[in-house]
Amino acid sequence: MMNKPLLFRFLLGILILFLSVPSLPAIAVNPTLGTIRQLEEVPGQMVYQSRQNLRDTQGNVWIAIAFKRPDDLLYLRLVGFPGVVEIDRTQPLRLIDSLNHTQLASDASAQMFIEGVQPHIGQYDLQPLVSELKPEIPLHLELPTVQGTTVILKLPPSFVQDWIAIASLPD
């Protein structure tokens, strides 16, 4: 039987190996960690996505979903709670890194629902920006609201890594 330090090193080595092999399928071990999922929306149509629960600076919970369909662009959908916030679609989503570099993501909310957009859900085109993102540099989102306030969401590096990985997946 292995002693405890040796067993710990062995298990740690297996974990590091598992996490460093990009060809392994994503497994949701912890819902706060970013993972890439491949889902079949309709027969023959796959979508790749990564979901993350985030809290804004006011403590409100948001769901952030980065996704790409074959022959499509990379989008980010932000979902707040109904009645808490109303997104201002006349302004872009701002992505600001810790070096104060700002990128703007254009609104693509009109493409979400046939019935029309929901005021607490926004969708943004990340495709033109993703090649400039660096997961090692902290990033936050600034989402303008019709109330005149700005929702600030800090992103974990794992989520930005997922965006880059999804964007690079073949169509």
User: Residue 130 has what pLDDT?
Assistant: 94
Residue 32, pLDDT > 50, answer no
* Dihedral sign of CA atoms 113, 133, 155, 152 in order: negative
User: Residue 3 has what pLDDT?
Assistant: 54
Query: Between these two residues, 19 and 100, which has the higher pLDDT value?
Result: 100
- Domains of the chain by residue range: 34-168
Taking Cα atoms as reference points, which of 167, 154, 90 lies closest to residue 122? Answer: 90
CATH architecture of 34-168: Sandwich (2.60)
**Measured between alpha carbons, how far apart are the two ends of the chain, in Å?**
48
Dmax over CA atoms of the chain, in Å, equals: 65
With contact defined as beta carbons under 8 Å apart, do 27 and 49 qualify? no
The pLDDT tens digits for 115-155 are: 777 899 999 999 999 999 999 999 999 999 999 999 999 99
User: Residue 136 has what pLDDT?
Assistant: 93
DSSP-derived pairing of the beta strands 37-42 and 45-55: antiparallel
